[in-house]
Structure 1
Amino acid sequence: MPTVFLVDASLSMCKPVSLQDRAEPMQIRHLAAEGLNHLLQYMAIHCKLEFCSVVVFSSLWEVVEPFTRDFDALRDRLTRLQFYDKTNIEVGIEGAKHAVLQEWGASCSCQIVLVTDGCTPRCLPQLNSPLFPFPCKLHIVPLCEPGSPQLKASLPFYQKLIDSTGNGAIVLPEGGLSLKSVNQAFVSIGESSYVSWQGRLVCGHLESHVTLCPPPDPQIKRVYDFEQITVKMSDTIEICGFMSIPDVAHPATVSRHLVLPIPAPKPDQSETSPTPENAQLRIEDGGMDDEAADDGKQPSFCVLLHGSLKVESMVAVCKLGASWYGMLYSWADSKKKSNLMLSTFEPGEGSVPWWTSVSSLGSNMIEKLKLPIKPAEKPSYSMNSVVWIRTTGLQADIQKILRHARKLPEKMSAFYKELNRLRRAAISYGFYDLLETMSSILERECTLLPGTQHPEAALQLSHAASQLKVTAGELPDIDTPIAPLKTKLSSSYMD
């Protein structure tokens, strides 16, 4: 899940403020850089693979540091920011939106940390809902005294930003403005949103301690016909069995995670996560590097599983929690490098439609089923499916019918085939107004026929227009297509 540090670069960020734990005043921009530096230290310990970017804004916006995993480069860039004129949060939101869409698209979840001095313009902009076209969690950190008038005036606007996003929080320094309170405010963002998932990957008597990047959402809810399922990922990924890639056949997934092996926790190690200060000291002393070097010499079931799945072209079906399953597989981002990935299915036993219940799958069952399972009824694929996502698709279908109508009676069979195709789709979608409109179009075409046109054309168009009309209070029959009008003139065109 990428992160955007959206930093206010207005001149008000250069204002000096008095701090409780410092004798000399300090500028707000230095407080912002110090707080973001602590957040980056926390992420370097718990989310090393997080992509971060720095976007500054005033009356304009600028991406001063594109998405990267180099936390040192991010820290260095935060100390060299330039500051300009006035604050325009609407411009900053556009900058963050552009940065995410340009790099990740609209389907990737993102976190935005907005750092400002708590001042908002007198004329507040109109906010669209949702605020971002992608799933987003917004953290707003106003660096000002909790009881200041400017913060009281800005809090309703900040809350509207959070409500428009749908997820996020306003993070205020507790107990007044000080270096300690600012640093703790940014660390609290890391503790709430950058919690790494660590657990065990188990297959029979083999196991390995792994971490997932990005960490899975704590809860995933899916609404079904008569129930709502709430699932939570356990601390154990249990492999249930193995399947060949053709049998899996690309099922729908909820999320995708990189699976990385980690050192096994020591027996005397506390279960609580280390504080950022202690963990940073361990990194500086080289303790973590020594452990990683020793762990590289130990056999790992995670590495064995990855190599086996890659060579055999198979996936491992695994259980993530109560009625929640996923699959492990080898994924290559280039020709030379591949990784072990975990994709999670929709919650429930029947999450993959062409499988049977996941808990009922077995080696004998898979051989008998010959996955993927084909439905009992054999659908007809003689006609393409009707897709009306854009208006151009509907217009193309109507124009195709009219082209055949102008060539009646030679194109009689093609005319009724396309007309019934459109009628069936309109009834299926409940688009009954389209039937009335199509009937009016055919009546108009009938009146515009040239005098040299075959008389059979007018008869067929009038017949089709009358059949398309929907009687008030009655639903049209989708199973009965419109048949051509049988006349003495049409006997030679009905072959």
Structure 2
Amino acid sequence: MPTVILFDVSLSMCRTIVTKHASDAHTIKSLAVNALTAFFDSLTANCRLEFCSLMLFSSLWERSVSFTRDYECIKTALNNLDTFYDKTNIMNALKGVQDLVLEEWGTNIQCQVILVTDGSPGISAYSTDIKPFKFNFPCKLHVVCICPPNDACLSLSVPYYKKLIHLSSAPNGQTDKQLWIPDSNTLSLKCVQKLFINLAETNYSTFKGKLHCGSLNCSVSLFPPLEPLTHSNDFEILTAQPSQDIHLMGFMKIEEVSSPPVSSRHLVFSLPALKEDLRKQHSVLNLATNPNHELSTSTMSDIEEAMNSIFAEDGKQPSLCVLLHGSLKVEGMVAICKIGDPDWYGMLYSWADSKKKFNLMLSAFHCGYDSISWLGNISMLGLPSLSIKSNEVNQIAEKKSYSQNCVVWINQSNLQSDVQKVVRFAKKLPEKTANFYKELNKFRRAALTIGFYEVIDGLATILERECTLLPGSAHPEAALQLTHAVNALRSARDASSYDLTILPLKTQFNTDSSI
């Protein structure tokens, strides 16, 4: 989910914090910048695909860095920040966040907002005319106060921040987990960095689990991570918890699954295999064991040597994800899997974010055995050979009432291109006689359909002119066919002659050639 860093640049952020050592004096802004640098370092190590944006605010707001995965760009913008503005206005800043997220992501993507401030609630907390703000999209608001717990302003700002969190992100009573305050009464660079690192570890942890397909398995990670799902059913409210083990239940064709309703989508990445797992599955290395199923010393050394060579190059590690992705892509199928309890299913399939880059994607269904209505009970699905075959009724092939290649003359260029096509075949008579009359009849029927009789006279005039411009080396049949087409167009130009088809003129030239 995308993240917006909302950084306070009001005058109160430039206050100096004096520690026990005079040489360690910092401003609140410098503490926040150093802590955010550690925060982005943690994202680089654990959540590199997270989109982040930087916004600055005081009484107004400003977009400093748009959504990007280049965290170095955001850290550079923070380090180059040397200007402070006037007073704090959090409400105006939250409205700016809403405009930014709606412009980039819309209303269906959940977003995280991290408000970094010095603990002062700003002018909006004292105004009785301003109502608390509520986002138009799913949001999780975190407020990070860079001030000691014994600060006097927290007595007013903490209830205000909790109200903001409750109304904007609806955390269901978890406001304490989204309000971050240092645990030390003396601010230091270490304690503020610890605060942001705890925020990153709590909300940006990587989902790591195992993908199982029969006797095969591999370690995988999901982005974004799977979270508990609450779904309102007809008679009850279901809460599903994700499992660390994803078990494949079977495979289905894409057209059978169609486009089912999903609660979330996740990219599936393969994690490097551990040496202990490869040692247990030493058959992967194609090494034989002795009859007592005990590895000899020489075999153990061979396994260690093979494992060291495999771990030296990541591309040589065997991966179930690569095998599964390639099979699903080639066969045009999806894999139905169980991702949690109770009765929480999903599907794995090949997804392309560009023409050349394909990924393995997991779509999580709504919890419940009937999450896909047209499939029925997912837990009751079985092999196709177990189904009762019904008597197949031979369907008569019906021609649809609409045309596959209909003529559209909305723009002038479309009509002009159709006229040019007829004239182009007319200049290549008699070799293109069949193509000429096919396009001529198609053009004539289209004009009669919309009652555009004038264009038929116009086409007849153009063909008549082309007949007079034929070179002396032209075949004699060309002039005869053009004259015949002109007369046929002018004689049959009403709606009653719609079913009439203009046929080529039979001459001594084409008659002799057919014999």
TM range, normalised to the smaller chain?
Answer: 0.5 to 0.7
Change (3 A) 1:331 1:92: same
Cα separation, 1, equivalents of 2:128 and 2:14: 24
SS in 1 for 2:273: coil
Does residue 32 (structure 1) correspond to residue 51 (structure 2)? The answer is no
Structure having the higher Rg: 2
Superposition CA RMSD, Å: 2.2
Q: Which amino acid aligns with 2:157?
A: S
User: Which residue is 1:75 aligned to?
Assistant: 75
Please show how residues 378-457 of structure 1 align to structure 2 within 5 Å: none
Counterpart among 197, 207, 213 of residue 203 in structure 1: 213
Cα separation, 2, equivalents of 1:132 and 1:350: 32
Cα separation, 2, equivalents of 1:368 and 1:249: 22
**Deviations 1:112-133 (CA, angstroms, capped at 9, x unpaired):** 1100111123533666577111
Contact in 2 for aligned 1:127/1:164 (Cα 8 Å): no
SS in 1 for 2:141: strand
User: Which residue is 2:144 aligned to?
Assistant: 141
Counterpart among 234, 237, 243 of residue 225 in structure 1: 234
Contact in 1 for aligned 2:94/2:133 (Cα 8 Å): no
User: How far did 1:61 drift?
Assistant: 0.9
**Deviations 1:321-372 (CA, angstroms, capped at 9, x unpaired):** 22110000111111111111000011111111001211111122786589xx
**Deviations 1:404-449 (CA, angstroms, capped at 9, x unpaired):** xxxxxxxxxxxxxxxxxxxxxxxxxxxxxxxxxxxxxxxxxxxxxx
Please show how residues 474-489 of structure 1 align to structure 2 within 5 Å: none
User: Which residue is 1:281 aligned to?
Assistant: none
Cα separation, 1, equivalents of 2:251 and 2:331: 10
Contact in 1 for aligned 2:111/2:140 (Cα 8 Å): yes
Please show how residues 31-70 of structure 1 align to structure 2 within 5 Å: 31-70=31-70
User: Which residue is 1:477 aligned to?
Assistant: none
Q: Which amino acid aligns with 1:153?
A: L
Change (3 A) 1:94 1:360: same
User: Which residue is 1:194 aligned to?
Assistant: 204
Please show how residues 194-273 of structure 1 align to structure 2 within 5 Å: 194-217=204-227, 219-267=228-276
Cα separation, 2, equivalents of 1:366 and 1:57: 64
Does residue 294 (structure 1) correspond to residue 313 (structure 2)? The answer is yes
Q: Which amino acid aligns with 2:249?
A: C
User: How far did 1:295 drift?
Assistant: 2.2
How many residue pairs end up in the alignment?
Answer: 348
**Deviations 1:436-479 (CA, angstroms, capped at 9, x unpaired):** xxxxxxxxxxxxxxxxxxxxxxxxxxxxxxxxxxxxxxxxxxxx
Contact in 2 for aligned 1:19/1:179 (Cα 8 Å): no
TM-score, length basis structure 2: 0.64
Change (3 A) 1:291 1:32: farther
User: Which residue is 2:509 aligned to?
Assistant: none
User: How far did 1:74 drift?
Assistant: 1.6
**Deviations 1:165-220 (CA, angstroms, capped at 9, x unpaired):** 21351100111211111111111111211111011111112222110000111x21
Q: Which amino acid aligns with 1:256?
A: R
TM-score, length basis structure 1: 0.67
Unaligned ranges ≥5, structure 1: 269-289, 371-495
Contact in 1 for aligned 2:133/2:164 (Cα 8 Å): no
Q: Which amino acid aligns with 1:86?
A: K
SS in 2 for 1:354: helix
Change (3 A) 1:130 1:115: closer
Cα separation, 1, equivalents of 2:372 and 2:206: 28
Cα separation, 2, equivalents of 1:255 and 1:89: 31
Report % sequence identity. 46
Cα separation, 2, equivalents of 1:147 and 1:115: 18
Cα separation, 2, equivalents of 1:67 and 1:250: 29
Unaligned ranges ≥5, structure 2: 278-308, 391-515
Cα separation, 1, equivalents of 2:8 and 2:211: 43
**Deviations 1:21-75 (CA, angstroms, capped at 9, x unpaired):** 6644211110110111111111111111111110111121111111111121121
Does residue 314 (structure 1) correspond to residue 333 (structure 2)? The answer is yes
User: How far did 1:19 drift?
Assistant: 2.9
Please show how residues 92-107 of structure 1 align to structure 2 within 5 Å: 92-107=93-108
SS in 2 for 1:149: coil
User: Which residue is 2:8 aligned to?
Assistant: 8
Cα separation, 2, equivalents of 1:186 and 1:236: 30
User: Which residue is 1:163 aligned to?
Assistant: 166
Contact in 1 for aligned 2:272/2:317 (Cα 8 Å): no
User: Which residue is 1:342 aligned to?
Assistant: 362
User: How far did 1:156 drift?
Assistant: 1.6
Cα separation, 2, equivalents of 1:22 and 1:112: 34
Change (3 A) 1:292 1:260: farther
Cα separation, 2, equivalents of 1:62 and 1:150: 26
Change (3 A) 1:179 1:368: farther
Cα separation, 2, equivalents of 1:21 and 1:50: 38
Cα separation, 1, equivalents of 2:253 and 2:234: 32
Q: Which amino acid aligns with 1:34?
A: N
